[in-house]
Chains A and B, each alone.
Chain A
């Protein structure tokens, strides 16, 4: 019962936060200096009449408060508006770009977390050895590399020099695929370099967090008990130490997912990957309010949901959180 009440309280909070985010976004972006109609009408000898017509079509003639209410009403009806720049429904565009971003980031995030944790745990178990210092050094070097630069260097070495992987886009333009498998292979090869870049620059935090937190647990008394009971070292490490070291990793993962969904903009720029980062970047330059607002709404929803999920995961992992 208290479990249900806890859930209900969390969900109400979620809704309130979401409303706050929606309002904040609306105010923030309408306060930006610059005028979207000026961009829309910035061409040719448009008559003042034509400019007024365009302003009316996009509802920009209403006072700000009314625009806000119209926006809220649209949201409740599932309408995100029409992009000023592309003059296409925002929901349609968002779908395409979000899909591409998820395609790129799902793989990269899973690889980063799983790979980082694996490397970190093994490093912790061989603390002080050659493997440990090599892993830590390598991941710290990766962590300190600028994303943009790393991407360009990889594109240059593996794409231009070795011709091993394509360096732009999410698939070969004009490709005529003979089978679905071929299409997947094409997308896969386009995914390789951006994914590799993301893993290289992000993996360090998981290596370091997993390593530090496992080392801490390994020093606890119950580890000694486990060894004294005669458990296999591998079992001690993975079942007892790692499980107890999971909390910081869950926190880092939630943070990473929140970060990456906003589009790994630098990686998307280097590899011309048509994802959310690019969409938002161009929308800000063009004062495309409907697109910016919708994109930030999506980001907010994802961050809130991930936090919500990590709260629940904490409970599952740690009985102390459940009781508190």
Chain B
């Protein structure tokens, strides 16, 4: 699952806000805070992006998943330690060959009082597999059959061993509500009265305003303290931050950097910066498609590595991101802990213009006219660079990148487009006519699989935005995806990252921080987690906080 389009909107607004001068004036002033007299019973979340739909099979938004993960249970959930913990499944076992997973299910009730059984779980997996309409379909690619031998057992059979347990990602749906719908009916189903087994029942969604859920008294787990949770939509992040200061909201999961900086020192407000599972990158068109309009010189790995050497990622973070992030390298962000391959600074293709020049010389780009290098036969190192106009951090980074490249003799012409136009240009898989772009990715699961899957040959026409295709990389990916031994898988994951890093089709610029803020006088016990206390794959902070 990618939150990319949403995250991008978020950054667009952040960019717009940077222009709003009075905004800065407002955030500088921290003058008031209301003391809440009664004990809090509702968690009020302030955010700036609205979910798309409450239908878990058709949503593409992180915000929708945030709400739905409290209404629906998965078989397995991610805890605050980012480790798997029981959900509707109390235990799960792998067969010796790793191709079969057996889940022991607990007894639970749907919000409409009907009993939950293994038939519901079986239905959910089969529907996702056969109808192929959902983003969850990626987790059941290898699923061959599903069995429910009794009401409390679910057995999934796969064609290959599964390193990633799909029980972690898929919400279990009630068969009695969903079974009669065809694929196209599901596509149009709004699910306005979502029925799940989760700790909260869906109450309402006032479009453009707020979403509310209320505690499910019959939930199987330890009942959470909050009777209600409300997500309040702000169209202006300055006003959102002010509302955190005045006490109108309890927590904001995504705050733009300049506004976040302004929260420092506000009474009863704690701003917090956490590592994320996201990165921004410079993507280089390496398509083998004969109709590709990309400059063929970029298919030379030495040229790509020179581009990578030319730019100083620390400067990108400091200038474009105002310091709120870490310099990037491989495609798994540092938030992934041990999965992230830590390449020593001396071995990185980074901030070394001399090395870039040497590489270009060796590759035959020895002539120089007007500061732009070319080869003997007149091939000029001059490329087009595109970025999203409203994502100010990307535009700033693209400018720094352009200037850095000019110093080593590579000419880049920067054009900015709106997000949708850039997306259509990059993803025009029939004839991708572009050279270099800037944008980013988020991972929706705490597992390397999603991000490592982006550069696969099979992802061309889908997530693979640079049309990279390497048999060796595909093989490394397949091996890690089917390796159940943790240490062995870790080694494979590191190898895959190194291999893709060396090929330099992606120049990962940075791993941006997730900037959040919460009130300290309403709820206590917010636990910092990589990826964010909320708006993350773990829902446990909502379930564990206590009123002050």
- Contact for A278 among B235, B421, B423, B424, CB less than 8 A: B235
Task: Kindly list chain B residues whose C-beta atoms are within 8 Å of the C-beta of A270.
Answer: 235-236, 239
Is B31 an interface residue when CB atoms closer than 8 A count as contact?
A: yes
B184 & A53 in contact (Cβ 8 Å cutoff):
yes
The answer to whether the Cβ of B207 comes within 8 Å of any Cβ in the partner chain is yes
Q: How far is the CA of A35 from the CA of B423 in the complex (A)?
A: 8
B420 touches A287 (CB 8 A): yes
- Which chain B residues border A161 with CB–CB below 8 Å? 31-32
Whether B137 contacts A50 by the Cβ 8 Å rule is yes
Q: Return the CB mask of A146-167 against B: 1 if under 8 Å, else 0.
A: 0011001101100111010011
> Given A45-B462, A274-B208, is A160 in contact with B242 using a C-beta cutoff of 8 Å?
yes
Pick out which of these stretches binds chain A: B101-109, B128-136, B363-371: B128-136
> A34 contacts B187, CB within 8 Å?
no
User: Does more than half of chain B's interface fall in helix, strand or loop, or is it mixed?
Assistant: mixed
State whether the Cβ of B210 lies closer than 8 Å to any Cβ in chain A.
yes
Q: Within 8 Å CB of A148, what residues of B?
A: 20
> Given A82-B188, A86-B53, A278-B235 in contact, is the A53-B420 Cβ separation under 8 Å?
no
Contact residues in A for B4 (Cβ distance below 8 Å): 42-43
Contact of B519 with A by CB under 8 A: no
A269 and B235 in contact, given A44-B1, A173-B212, A174-B230 (Cβ under 8 angstroms): yes
> Which one of B85-93, B243-251, B528-536 contacts A?
B243-251
Complex interface: chain B residues within 8 A of A271 (CB): 235-236, 239
Can you offer 11 A-B residue contacts whose CB atoms are under 8 A?
A: A33-B421, A43-B4, A44-B136, A48-B461, A57-B188, A87-B55, A148-B20, A149-B21, A174-B42, A174-B210, A285-B419
Asked if A46 is at the interface (CB within 8 A of a chain B CB), the reply is yes
- Choose one: B26, B136, B210; the contact of A160 (CB below 8 Å): B26
Contacts of B417 in A (CB 8 A): 33
In the complex, B232 has a CB within 8 A of chain A:
yes
- With contacts A42-B5, A148-B20 taken as known, whether A170 is within 8 angstroms of B209 at the C-beta atoms is yes
Residues of A within 8 A of B424 (CB): 33-35, 38
A44-B1, A87-B190, A274-B206 known; A156+B58 contact, CB < 8 A: no
Given contacts A38-B427, A43-B60, A161-B32, 5 further A-B contacts (CB under 8 A): A57-B187, A88-B190, A152-B20, A155-B239, A268-B235
Known A-B contacts A87-B52, A174-B212, A274-B209; A34 and B423 likewise in contact (beta carbons under 8 Å)? yes
Q: Which B109-137 residues have C-beta < 8 A from chain A?
A: 132-137
Q: Is the CB of A45 within 8 A of B459?
A: yes
**Interchain CB contact under 8 A, A278 and B208:** yes
Q: How many residues on chain B are close to A (CB under 8 Å)?
A: 71
Binding site for A on B (CB under 8 A): 1-2, 4-5, 9, 12, 20-23, 26, 29, 31-32, 34, 42, 44, 50, 52-53, 55, 58, 60, 132-138, 141, 183-184, 187-190, 206-210, 212, 228, 230, 232-236, 238-240, 242-243, 245-246, 248, 417-421, 423-424, 427, 453, 459, 461-463
How many of chain A's residues touch chain B, expressed as a range?
Answer: 35 or more
B208 pairs with A279, CB closer than 8 A: yes
Q: How far is the CB of B133 from chain A (nearest CB, A)?
A: 6
Q: In residues 18-69 of chain A, which contact B (Cβ within 8 Å)?
A: 33-35, 38-40, 42-50, 53-54, 56-57
Pick the 6 closest A-B CB pairs, nearest first. A274-B208, A44-B135, A34-B420, A45-B138, A43-B60, A33-B421
Residue of B nearest to A88 (CB): B190
Contact of A272 with B234 at beta-carbon distance under 8 Å, contacts A46-B462, A47-B132 already known:
yes
**Contacting residues, chain A, for B187 (C-beta < 8 A):** 53-54, 57, 87
CB pair B132–A168 under 8 Å, yes or no, is no
Q: How far is the CA of A35 from the CA of B34 in the complex (A)?
A: 46
Determine the distance from Cα of A35 to Cα of B427 in the docked complex, in whole angstroms.
10
Given the complex, which residues of B lie within 8 Å of A133, measured CB to CB?
none
Chain B residues near A174 (CB-CB < 8 A): 42, 44, 210, 212, 228, 230
Q: Report how far A270 CA is from B322 CA in the complex, Å.
A: 25
Residues of A within 8 A of B236 (CB): 152, 168, 269-272
Closest residue of A by beta carbon distance from B42: A174
CA distance in complex: A46, B58 (Å)? 11
Beta-carbon contact of B208 and A96 below 8 Å: yes
